[in-house]
Each structure stands twice: as structure tokens, then as C-alpha cells.
């Protein structure tokens, strides 16, 4: 259900964008901004934003997910591990569907690095960044033996925005692609936590309560 809502909702948003935004004044302003950014690249900024982009590239996502899931399973936190896997799968599958439906071209500038073969809308890097680091923030808040501040949620937001800025700087995304990627990442994480029930444990998980909950559901 979460996949259907995400894919359909963002596809509709993207189609509306193609009809009313991408080819209009906002789209022109975006193109001008991306071109302006590309014209002002420096070697220092190139290095900074390349690092920013790698925070959610494929190998980073795979490595962190495998490591986190392995540790969570080994320490008896299967619900958390499943939530991370489900969130990443929801994000990736929805990204492929929305990209195919909207099929927005990449910005017409010289890219800093290689240009992905996938469409520009939405930004998969941004979506993956929010899902990955948002999942880690959620795990930290629910596994920690002491309450962690809600301000921890600013971390995935900051990383996702940094990745988005990096992708615009590199000339492979428009700002609206970044915004859509952020929506996709947040939606995928929300859908995954709802499906696994982890959102009910926002704060340190009482594993006794969790065991009682499993026992109660098994008797239904």
C-alpha cells in the first residue's frame, strides 16, 4: 500500500510539474540557476560537493545498510533491521516507477561527473540520503537506553539537503528534483515504520512491551 501511494502520488506530482512548471517560468529559472552554478565551479567546491554526493551513492548505501542490518540482527533488533530494508526497497522501487512515468530530462549543462542513465525527477540520491540517515536516526532513538533529542531528526534533513545541493552543483538535478527526492525519502521511511510498527516506539523501545505486543498479536 505504501508503495502504491508513494509511486502514484509522486508520479501525479511529476506529471503536473511537466504540464505546469518544468516548461514554464519556474523551469526556466531552475535552468538558469543550474547554469549559473556550473559557471562558478572551483576546484575546492568541486571536491566539497563531490564528497557531499558520495554520502548517498550506491556503494555507500549498500555498505551502510549491510553493516547496520547485520549489527541489528546480531543484537536482537530484527524489527529495526526489517524497517531499514523495507524503507530502502520502497524508496528505490518508487524512484524507478516515478522516473519512468515523469521522464524528465537532466539539466542542459556540462555535468561535473558522469550523468546517470535515469531521469532527473526525482533525485534518487536525495531520497536515499533521507531514507538511510533517517533510518539510522530512528534506530538510535529507539535502541538507545536513554532518550535522545528529537533534534536528531535534523541530521538526515541536513545530509539530504547537502546531497541535493551537491547534485545541483554537479549539474545532474534541478532544485525541484531535489524537493521531490526529499518527499520520496520521507514518505518511504514513514511507510516502512508504519508497516513494521516501529513508529509506535519513537523513543527507547521497551522490549518487554514489544514481546507482550507480539504475544497478543499471535493470539488473534
Q: Which residues contact 26 (CB under 8 A, 6 or more apart)?
A: 176
Question: What is the DSSP-derived secondary structure letter of residue 107?
Answer: P
- Other C-beta atoms closer than 10 Å to the C-beta of 212 total 11
Q: State in Å, rounded, how far the first CA of the chain is from the last one.
A: 22
- Say if pTM beats, i.e. exceeds, 0.85: yes
**Angle made by CA atoms 51, 142, 3, in degrees to the nearest 5:** 70
Residue 87: burial class (beta carbons within 10 Å; 0-12, 13-18, 19+): buried
- What are φ and ψ of residue 181, in 5° steps? -65, -40
Q: In the structure, what pLDDT confidence band is assigned to residue 190 with cuts at 50, 70 and 90?
A: very high
pLDDT in tens, 2-34: 788 889 999 999 999 998 999 899 999 999 999
- What are φ and ψ of residue 60, in 5° steps? -65, -50
pLDDT in tens, 152-165: 889 999 999 999 99
Q: In the structure, what pLDDT confidence band is assigned to residue 53 with cuts at 50, 70 and 90?
A: very high
Give yes or no for a cis peptide into 216 (omega within 30° of 0): no
Domain edges within the chain: 2-218
* Grid cell digits, residue 5: 501511494
Amino acid at each position: 500500500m505504501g508503495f502504491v501511494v508513494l509511486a502514484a502520488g509522486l508520479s501525479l506530482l511529476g506529471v503536473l510539474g511537466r504540464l505546469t512548471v518544468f516548461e514554464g517560468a519556474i523551469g526556466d529559472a531552475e535552468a538558469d540557476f543550474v547554469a549559473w552554478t556550473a559557471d562558478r565551479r572551483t576546484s575546492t567546491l568541486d571536491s566539497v560537493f563531490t564528497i557531499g554526493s558520495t554520502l548517498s551513492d550506491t556503494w555507500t548505501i549498500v555498505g551502510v545498510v549491510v553493516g547496520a542490518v547485520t549489527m541489528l540482527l546480531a543484537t536482537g533488533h530484527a524489527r529495526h533491521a526489517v524497517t531499514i530494508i523495507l524503507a530502502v526497497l520502497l524508496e528505490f522501487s518508487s524512484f524507478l516507477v516515478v522516473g519512468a512515468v515523469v521522464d524528465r530530462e537532466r539539466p542542459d549543462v556540462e555535468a561535473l561527473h558522469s550523468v546517470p542513465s535515469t531521469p532527473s525527477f526525482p533525485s534518487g540520491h536525495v531520497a536515499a540520503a533521507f531514507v538511510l540517515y533517517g533510518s539510522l536516526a530512528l534506530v538510535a532513538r529507539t535502541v538507545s537506553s536513554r532518550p535522545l533529542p528529537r533534534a536528531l531528526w535534523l541530521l538526515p534533513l541536513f545530509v539530504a539537503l547537502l546531497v541535493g545541493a551537491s547534485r545541483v552543483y554537479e549539474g545532474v538535478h534541478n532544485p525541484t528534483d531535489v524537493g521531490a527526492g526529499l518527499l520520496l525519502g520521507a514518505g518511504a521511511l514513514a511507510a516502512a515504520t508504519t508497516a513494521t510498527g516501529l513508529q509506535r516506539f519513537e523513543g527507547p523501545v521497551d522490549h518487554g512491551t514489544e514481546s507482550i505486543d507480539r504475544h497478543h498479536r499471535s493470539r488473534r
